Amino acid sequence: MANTNLDLDEVNHKLRLVTAEHVVQWAAEIFGDGLMMTSSFGVQSAVMLHLVTRVVPDIPVIWIDTGFNFPETYTFGEDLTKRLGLNLKVYQSDLSPARMVAIHGRLWEQGKRGLDRYDVIRKIEPRDRAFQDLGVKSWFSGLRRDQTQFRKMLRKVEYFGSVVKIHPILDWTSEDVDAYLKQHDLPYHPLREKGYTSIGDWHSTKPSEGGSDSRDGRFQGLKQECGLHLPQSEAEIASRDSSGL
């Protein structure tokens, strides 16, 4: 695998005007078998899964399964895995859903503090374990600038702790996503037809008001990010802030 001590300013300048496919190809050349991607099998997940696996067919696809997904999400995930031939790796918390509720209560009903603790147990710890197990050096993510305030600050290539995080479709709009899905005959999550524009766990997701492409139906409006994509340590936060992002 090539040297991954990157000059982020230089890399982002180089990639600022290239296509999403070119970003994926660049990452494949730089990181080789240290690449992976995550997917929540959400509304538009087929885009990134198709885009990346066309270039890196056997890339590990990590699904952090909270155990609280909608039934439609599980069937959608199975269907896309078979259709695209995904190298799927499912990771879950060591604490079962029933045991977590028995010990900690319904964390999603305990305000932002409860939701944050829920994220650590059900999402962040399994993610970190997956990264360690798979020797992850670089992480593809389908975040877009038009989704949340935090995401507006991102660049196509960032450090996330010791991992390099890559956002090939960061500059895409909802119209770009629609066009890609149509061009390649790819499906949306089935709950989109019921007004869901962003889909997470059943207890913290509702249809979006007005049917806009937003995350206003998530986490009772208390936050927009699930925690997987946010810096976790004070050092990571300071690093991000010092970069001007």
Residue 181 near residue 169, CB atoms below 8 Å: no
In a domain, 122, yes or no: yes
Q: Give the range among 54-63, 124-133, 198-207 with minimum mean pLDDT.
A: 198-207
In a domain, 150, yes or no: yes
For 206, the token pair is: 């509702």
Q: How far is CA 209 from CA 81, 212, 215, 223, in A?
A: 30, 7, 10, 16
Question: Which pLDDT value is given to residue 86?
Answer: 98
In a domain, 231, yes or no: yes
Which residues fall within 8 angstroms of residue 140, CB to CB, at 6 or more apart? Answer: 24, 27, 35, 36, 37, 38, 48, 52, 59, 166, 168
pLDDT over threshold 50, residue 68: yes
In a domain, 35, yes or no: yes
Question: Which pLDDT value is given to residue 226?
Answer: 53
Count of the separate structural domains present in the chain:
1
Which residues fall within 8 angstroms of residue 17, CB to CB, at 6 or more apart? Answer: none
Each residue of 10-37: pLDDT tens digit?
A: 999 999 999 999 999 999 999 999 999 9
- Catalytically active residues, by annotation: 226
Residue 21 near residue 32, CB atoms below 8 Å: no
Question: Which pLDDT value is given to residue 117?
Answer: 93
The single-letter DSSP state of residue 86 is -
Average pLDDT, the chain: 86
Mean pLDDT of 64-85: 97
- What's the domain range around 165? 8-242
Q: Which pLDDT band, with edges at 50, 70 and 90, does 3 fall under?
A: very low
Amino acid (1-letter code) at residue 12: N
Q: Which pLDDT band, with edges at 50, 70 and 90, does 152 fall under?
A: confident
In a domain, 195, yes or no: yes
Percent of the chain with pLDDT over 90: 69
Which residues fall within 8 angstroms of residue 134, CB to CB, at 6 or more apart? Answer: 36, 60, 62, 89
In a domain, 28, yes or no: yes
Question: Which pLDDT value is given to residue 92?
Answer: 97
In a domain, 137, yes or no: yes
pLDDT over threshold 90, residue 106: yes
- CATH number of the domain to which 34 belongs: 3.40.50.620
In a domain, 2, yes or no: no
pTM summary value? 0.83
Q: How far apart are CA 228 and CA 245, in angstroms?
A: 18
